[in-house]
Amino acid sequence: MKRSISGVTVCILILSSVSCITVSNPEEGALAGAVGGAIIGALVGDSPGDTLLGAIIGAAVGGLAGAYIQSYMDRQAAEMRDDIRGAEIDRVGEGIRVWFDVGILFDAGGFELLVSGQRALLSLGVVLNRYPDTDIIIMGNADDWASRDRALALSERRSRAIGDYLALHNVKPGRFAYRSFSPRGEALGYHYGRRMGLAVVASDALKRTAREHR
């Protein structure tokens, strides 16, 4: 009986959390698990980090194939830590979270990349191109919470600016999916705007290779 009630509760929580996330062009890239993962992210918490965590969880395959993917991600994350200045690299499950302080990327309230942001993203792009069998979920965020609509618009523009710059440096646009973060009213706060993140997850091609190596 308890298990049945828990299942209903999860469904209600998922439905009530969808409004916290906007998904732009979810068909871009081979990210079938990422949309479901974004919903999981909304369920597990109310921050950009939780949403990225949910996207990584949603894209996972598990088992021996998952172990193969984790090894691939370990190597990629190690190179990111060596090469990218001003970024925090987290290895999570079968994916990677890459964190940037907003101030490195954008002026307050702005969506044009700063020179420091361009340098950091250029280094990121070099590593991403060494590991082409991954997809990238770009999590937009804002440091101006004057209104929900304004925050979402700024979040969208920032995530697109990151994607456009990476594409300019030969990261295939088909690898990208975009998320815009807007917390519910009780969670509005300046501190949510201090970091922007990306999730790196296995592409369909990498998942197929991983299954073949089981």
Q: Are 204 and 30 in contact (CB under 8 A)?
A: yes
Note the pLDDT of residue 48.
Answer: 55
**Domain presence at residue 11:** no
Number of domains in the chain: 1
DSSP 73: H
Decide if pLDDT at 192 tops 80: no
55: helix, coil or strand?
helix
Q: Is the pLDDT of residue 103 over 80?
A: yes
Q: What is the mean pLDDT of the chain?
A: 76
**pLDDT tens-digit map of 122-180:** 999 999 999 999 999 998 887 766 677 888 888 899 999 999 999 999 999 999 999 87
Look up residue 207 and give its amino acid: K
pTM for the full model? 0.75
Asked if residue 203 has pLDDT above 90, the reply is yes
Residue 115 within a domain: yes
Alpha carbon distance 123, 162 (integer Å)? 13
**Residue 189 falls within a domain, yes or no?**
yes
Task: State the Cα angle at 25 between 24 and 30, rounded to 5°.
Answer: 120
Structure tokens at 150: 């304004």
- Which domain, by its residues, includes 193? 18-212
Q: What is the mean pLDDT of residues 99-119?
A: 92
Confirm whether 116 is domain-assigned. yes
Structure tokens at 78: 């190690």
**pLDDT of 35:** 41
Q: Domain for residue 73, yes or no?
A: yes
Query: Is 44 within the bounds of a domain?
Result: yes
Whole-angstrom distance, CA of residue 137 vs CA of residue 28: 10
- For tokens 């308890």, name the residue: 2
Residue type, 146: A
For residue 193, the model assigns a pLDDT of: 52
Is 150 part of any domain?
A: yes
pLDDT at 29 over 60: no
b (16+ CB within 10 A) / e for 182-214: bbeeeeeeeebbebbbbbbbbbeebbebbeeee
pLDDT at 53 over 80: yes
Q: What per-residue confidence (pLDDT) applies to 52?
A: 82
Q: Are 139 and 198 in contact (CB under 8 A)?
A: yes
Give one word for 138, left, alpha or beta, with left for phi > 0 and alpha for psi -120 to 50. beta
- Does a structural domain hold residue 3? no
Q: What CATH number does the domain containing 50 carry? A: 3.30.1330.60
